[in-house]
Structure 1
Amino acid sequence: MTSPAQRASAGDPLGLLDLFGDGFVRDPYPWLAALRAEAPVHHDPGTGLWLISRYEDIRRVLLDPDAFHPDNAQHAVTPLPVGVLRVLARAGFRMPPALADNGTPSHPGLRRLVTRFFNARRVAAAVPVIERIADELLTSAAQRIDTEGGHDLFPSFAQVLPCRVLMELLGIDGVSPATLIRWSDASLELFWGRPTPSRQLELAELVGEFHQWLTRTVTGGTASRDSFLGALAEHRLPDGRPLDVPTAVGVCFFVFIAGQSTTGQLIATVLSRALAEPGLWSRVSRDEGLAEAWVEEVLRREPPVTTWRRVAARPVELGGVDLPAGAQLLLMLMGSGSDPDVFASPERLCPQRANVRQHLSFGVGRHRCPGASLARTEAAVALRVAARRLPRIQPGPEAAGTPMLGLLSFRAPLRVAVEQA
């Protein structure tokens, strides 16, 4: 099969690109390289989106919220048919702008509220909590490996660790981690996937349940004032009005998904790549700072959040292309981390890379991810504790065929199969 660059040079610039196709999901790097080289601002007919792939262009968009609005960040990629809209309406589903898609004056205050609960001091204080939960989960995993010879660390560890940590940090109870994970994953698939109409109906039921639970949780009135939910209840909008319930639910919707699903995806990728890197697993539990450095390189090269969307507020030139007002942009965050103009030998994972923190995987500017510190810390602790508790494991025989999550903005291994070395 010819590469994307070969097709481009033959007069077919990326004509076969399918952002949901198995070829792109399994190995997006040739396509991303072709986009940067041949069409850094490329209109994708399959999605109607303008794909922005060069680091400097993506950074410019993220740092100019007046020209590029976040309004479309959480729009459903696959249009929702009437039947699905009815299911969501019956559940009272309503999602006004809150965080990632909020370009209104309410955003700075809401962002400050969320950031206060995930700042560096709170995250440092949470490390013992993360270590305790990780150790508990890995005790069970070690027993399974001993008795069965192999185990999948994705559902038993990578997925559930950030969910349980988030529940403990935010004081959430009365629901199981498995239920929260199911609701969160369904939300990602419904709004960022390409599900069939019948699958959309199934997902909408789960998303409706999630929204109803969030609404009950927000309006329960039992949270202490110093808790996250208590802070939402006390929050005032720029005009002095109390925060309305739909927006408070929207904040929680974003925090719960980002705080568990995408962090679980990061942990899965960090573990998979560490197990595959010769010599790393045996060093990561004893070499100070290595786990953190490895996480940062994985974030640069293979972040769980691969793309994000913006909409042009007015006609604008970007990367030598004139875009009309209303143009829908897809910022290829994963491609920006592999831009050779910024990162030397980008295909190599180099834990001591000098400029690794320049990556855009958490965004930059006004909408930079407020949970970045927690995600980094959880992934590093997960890797370090796993290497210490499971020192003699290796990738399982089926690792080469690991299925991948392939949504528009999210990508990660769906299995971390290991066996005794």
Structure 2
Amino acid sequence: MTSTESTPSTTGKCPVSHIGESFDPLAANEMYEFYAKARKEEPVFYSPQLDMWVVTRYDDILQIMQDTETFSAANVLELYQVPCEAALNIVGSSGVKIAPSLVDEDPPVHTRHRQALRRPFTPERVKTLEPMIREFVADKIDGFIKRGEADLIDDFMYEVPALVLFRMMGIPDSDVPITKQFIKRLAVFGFGFPDEEEQVEQAQNLADYWGYIKGHIERLLADPGDDVMSQFIAQLQLPKNSDLWDQDYVQTIMMQLTFAGQETTVNASGGMYRALLENRDQWELLCADPSLVPNAVEESLRFYTPVPQWKRITTKATTLGGVDLPAGQRLLIALGSGNHDDAAFDDGDRFDIRRDNANKHMAFGWGRHRCLGEGVARLEMRIALEETVRRLPHMQLVPGQSWEFSPNIGHRGPEHVHVTWDPAANPVPADRP
């Protein structure tokens, strides 16, 4: 409905405005245009489709992310639709027991779990990953550099984050293809609106992946290594953390790390290359001055936020953006909208790799729930960009390509980024045919 007149809601949140009625949480190219309008007209609005309050301004989102007492993360992993009975039966009979974990826990238990998991993700430990990441990136580019055309997702960044993460997790490289297939299907099941046939297929996928993870964790329990999950298990089994130990919890964490550590970085990388190559002046500026690469990564994360919408729930009555909210209200926090807010970023819809506050974006969340793996994602994106700037400064987007996105609310990035170049003009002699 597009009328500007208020319309009574059937869910008790009336009146519903034209902003709330016209909101499409699955919109892709139109997302930022819609949110710009919402920030001006109704920065906190009710969506009858989702039965959620949508929060669009940077300062309001920051308030939510910082105040964990008023805004709980407990609903983060709630499905947007209840699966059909057949899908629920598959999940239930397969022994899947996804426990509340880092993303949907609140302090103080969240604090203790985060502390137990953080060591492999400290800046010092992340820095040691650089040679491995650079090797994976170079190997992928070697595979298409002389061809003159590539999909920067399928041919390049689809596997790099997985190879890095799985090496960190102690998963054999040979298992990458099968685990990638498991993970790719989880976004729509957890954050979308699949039909019943898709629900059954995705529920079976979830069950199969849970079985894979269970087997992996049991192998690590029998023979620990120096990987992320072995270290996490060791921390949970310390006497001071004995009350935290639970194998289902460990398996849940592994599922979330393998999903987020790939899906988010692949989406962020796709958005990065799209933004830079669509704004050709920015790409050429970067090629002329590669010292801008780190800030280009930050601006890309701001401009095309890979997790554009996330969730919270109120624990008590509060006022947000001038709207009074009772306890128990579910919120959709539009991180992508906040990252375009002119009040926080001058001319927020403009892509500018020299922006001096680009790193104030919320692409990795904020506060207690800030993404543990953000340092790894940044390093992967930086190295990928450094190598493509050096070896493929002359690549260009294939004209007229359509931008396709996974139909889900929580994770957003182009499925493909098609580029071409003249391989005879490759600046590195060894890269020429």
- TM-score by length of structure 2 reads 0.89
Give the alignment of 1:15-414 within 5 angstroms. Answer: 15-20=21-26, 24-103=27-106, 105-143=108-146, 145-146=147-148, 150-173=149-172, 175-220=174-219, 221-224=221-224, 226-236=226-236, 240-241=242-243, 243-282=245-284, 284=286, 287-399=289-401, 401-414=402-415
Measured after TM superposition, the shift of residue 286 of structure 1 is 6.1
Residue aligned with 1:411, SS: coil
Does the 8 Å contact 2:188/2:407 carry over to 1? no
Does the 8 Å contact 1:69/1:312 carry over to 2? yes
Measured after TM superposition, the shift of residue 366 of structure 1 is 0.8
Does the 8 Å contact 1:233/1:242 carry over to 2? no
Output the CA distance in 2 between the equivalents of 1:116 and 1:132. Answer: 24
Measured after TM superposition, the shift of residue 236 of structure 1 is 2.9
The size of the alignment, in residue pairs, is 410
Q: Cα deviation per residue 1:370-402 (whole Å; 9 max; x = unaligned)?
A: 111111111111112123233332111342x12
Output the CA distance in 2 between the equivalents of 1:287 and 1:8. Answer: 51
Residue aligned with 2:319, SS: strand
Output the CA distance in 2 between the equivalents of 1:223 and 1:392. Answer: 49
Output the CA distance in 2 between the equivalents of 1:91 and 1:284. Answer: 50
Residue aligned with 2:312, SS: strand
Residue aligned with 2:103, SS: coil
Output the CA distance in 1 between the equivalents of 2:282 and 2:63. Answer: 36
Does the 8 Å contact 2:295/2:359 carry over to 1? no
Q: Cα deviation per residue 1:274-329 (whole Å; 9 max; x = unaligned)?
A: 22222444554562432211110111121101011001111211111111211000
Q: Aligned-pair RMSD on alpha carbons?
A: 2.2
Q: Quote the residue 2:19 is aligned against.
A: 13
Instruction: Provide closer, same or farther for how the CA distance between residues 286 and 243 of structure 1 changes in structure 2, counting only shifts above 3 A.
Output: farther
Does the 8 Å contact 1:284/1:384 carry over to 2? no
Bigger Cα displacement from structure 2, 60-69 vs 216-225: 216-225
Output the CA distance in 2 between the equivalents of 1:96 and 1:115. Answer: 19
Does the 8 Å contact 1:225/1:234 carry over to 2? no
Identity %: 26
Output the CA distance in 1 between the equivalents of 2:223 and 2:56. Answer: 44
Measured after TM superposition, the shift of residue 8 of structure 1 is 8.1
Letter in 2 for 1:118: F
Output the CA distance in 1 between the equivalents of 2:171 and 2:195. Answer: 33
Instruction: Provide closer, same or farther for how the CA distance between residues 81 and 253 of structure 1 changes in structure 2, counting only shifts above 3 A.
Output: same
Residue aligned with 1:15, SS: helix
Q: Cα deviation per residue 1:216-268 (whole Å; 9 max; x = unaligned)?
A: 11121255354212122223386633521110011111111111111111111
Measured after TM superposition, the shift of residue 170 of structure 1 is 2.5
Residue aligned with 1:345, SS: coil
Does the 8 Å contact 2:20/2:48 carry over to 1? no
Does the 8 Å contact 1:99/1:254 carry over to 2? no
Letter in 2 for 1:160: E
Residue aligned with 2:92, SS: helix
Residue aligned with 2:96, SS: coil
Measured after TM superposition, the shift of residue 25 of structure 1 is 1.4
Q: Cα deviation per residue 1:102-148 (whole Å; 9 max; x = unaligned)?
A: 125332122123321122112211111111000101111224x24xx
Residue aligned with 2:53, SS: strand
Output the CA distance in 1 between the equivalents of 2:5 and 2:155. Answer: 43
Output the CA distance in 2 between the equivalents of 1:193 and 1:335. Answer: 19
Output the CA distance in 2 between the equivalents of 1:211 and 1:200. Answer: 16
Output the CA distance in 2 between the equivalents of 1:17 and 1:50. Answer: 11
Residue aligned with 1:249, SS: helix
Does the 8 Å contact 2:133/2:383 carry over to 1? yes
Structure 2 residue runs without a partner (length 5+): 8-16, 423-433
Measured after TM superposition, the shift of residue 271 of structure 1 is 1.5
Output the CA distance in 2 between the equivalents of 1:137 and 1:340. Answer: 38
Measured after TM superposition, the shift of residue 7 of structure 1 is 5.0
Does the 8 Å contact 1:282/1:387 carry over to 2? no
Q: Quote the residue 1:419 is aligned against.
A: 420
Bigger Cα displacement from structure 2, 110-119 vs 29-38: 110-119
Letter in 2 for 1:410: H
Output the CA distance in 1 between the equivalents of 2:153 and 2:130. Answer: 21
- TM-score by length of structure 1 reads 0.91
Letter in 1 for 2:308: T
Residue aligned with 2:419, SS: strand
Does the 8 Å contact 2:183/2:259 carry over to 1? yes
Residue aligned with 1:134, SS: helix
Structure 1 residue runs without a partner (length 5+): none
